[in-house]
Amino acid sequence: MAVRQYDFAYGRGRMKFSLEEDDVAMEVRTEAFPPMKDIKAGVLEAVRHPIGCPSLDEIVKPGDTVAFICNDLTRVANTYDFMPVLVDELNRLGVPDENMRIVFSLGTHRCMTKEEMTQAVGENVASRLQMYNSDCHIDEDFLYFGQTSRGTPVLINKRICDVDHVILTGSIVYHYFSGYGGGRKAILPGCAAMETVRKNHSFMLDPHSGLGLTTGNPVYEDQMEGVARFAKGRSLFLFNGVLNAKHEFLKMFAGDYIAAHKEACRFVDEVYGAVIPREADLVVASCGGYPKDINVYQMQKTMDNAALAVREGGVVVLLADCEEGSGSKVLEETFQRLKTPEAIEKDLEDHFVIGANKAYAVTRPMKKAKFILVTSLDRGMAASMHFAGAVSTADEAIAMAKKFLGTEHPCTILMPEGSLTVPRVAK
């Protein structure tokens, strides 16, 4: 049999490995839509011809105040590409720089440094606009908008509450329990208080939560209800992009935060949904490199995608550098305190804690298959998290997988863009 060498993204570099060609059933990739060539023209086209609402020209008046919500560095959005265009467009409409600010939608992630903020939006914009972290732990930074029908207190960062217009920016991919990223997530969980996020994310334990699910998904519906409470009487405008695995813009969507997002999600299904002939014995998946594999907290999302491509009792080899380790002390402590997946799930049902929920998310796909990490993660930490192995090279991991499977020729599916692609078996 012919042996072929593969080369997947890993951390800030690449990882090579070899497989016999006949063992590879398919390589799952995003659909090859042509990338946008003129970013500025694309941004202006989207905001001047929005979906479901009037354009910024009609909404914004000279002297108005604006808050932009922007992604933190754990999510690829190429914010530095579109923010200068959006800021200049608002200048054209009579909004001076001093009337605009940026709030980074951290959710429960760590605060960004000034350097990271500048990296995210670009030096031009960073030098012109005030920038703030939405730190979920500072209680006095949040205003109360009642609670949802599911009992989630709606606490939203005050820096997006006292302006004439809120512009939600970001990118859209699948999300492993709230259906899709983008849209309302810029506000909830992005600019919400810890208790708001904790209560909302507790619904991830519900079997109706999951990838690409909106209708009937309690996490998504609770987020939508919470944002609707905040949005009442306010001007919200969405700007979301969809990127390919090379971080190139494929399409931009702007307008009403509900209508534009729904249209964008339909496009995401076209780009990232992938049909496979059948579930494989072995899946070799890369998160797509930095920042998708910056830590366990982010890497976990690829586990859910890869689990859709592997058979019951199969093996997933996951390329995830994890240069920042676990990404959560609470996640580590949960694994140290609770020794089994069953104990983790029971503990969350009794008292849902952010960080501990990731321990559940990590172990959930392990009910279907073994996961072997190719990683720089501490080996003891990987073992405590129930990974079947943690090694330094993909070739080592594949050899280990073959021993687990008891065959030298496992049916294999490759997922070089594992954080993006969502496999489904052909009907």
Q: What are the chain's domains?
A: 3-29+274-425 (3.90.226.30), 39-243 (3.40.50.11440)
Find out whether 70 and 105 touch, Cβ atoms under 8 Å: yes
Find out whether 223 and 200 touch, Cβ atoms under 8 Å: yes
Question: Helices then strands (H, E): number in the chain?
Answer: 14, 20
**Amino acid, single-letter form, for residue 336:** Q
User: Which residue is associated with the tokens 């830590």?
Assistant: 295
CA-nearest of 28, 53, 119, 19 to 302 is 28
**Per-residue pLDDT, 258:** 98
Distances (CA, A) of 185 to 19, 219, 228, 382: 40, 11, 12, 30
Q: How far is CA 207 from the centre of its chain?
A: 20
Backbone angles phi, psi at 425, to 5 degrees: -75, 135
pLDDT digits (tens, 9 = 90+) for 193-251: 999 999 999 999 999 999 999 999 999 999 999 999 999 999 999 999 999 988 999 99
Global pTM reads 0.87
Distances (CA, A) of 87 to 64, 112, 243, 263, 363: 13, 21, 21, 25, 43
**Per-residue pLDDT, 152:** 98
Average pLDDT over residues 80-90: 98
Find out whether 184 and 227 touch, Cβ atoms under 8 Å: yes
The answer on pLDDT for 305 being more than 90 is yes
Tokens of 416: 């070089």
Average pLDDT over residues 274-291: 96
Distances (CA, A) of 119 to 71, 79, 84, 126: 12, 9, 13, 9
**Per-residue pLDDT, 426:** 82
The answer on pLDDT for 302 being more than 80 is yes
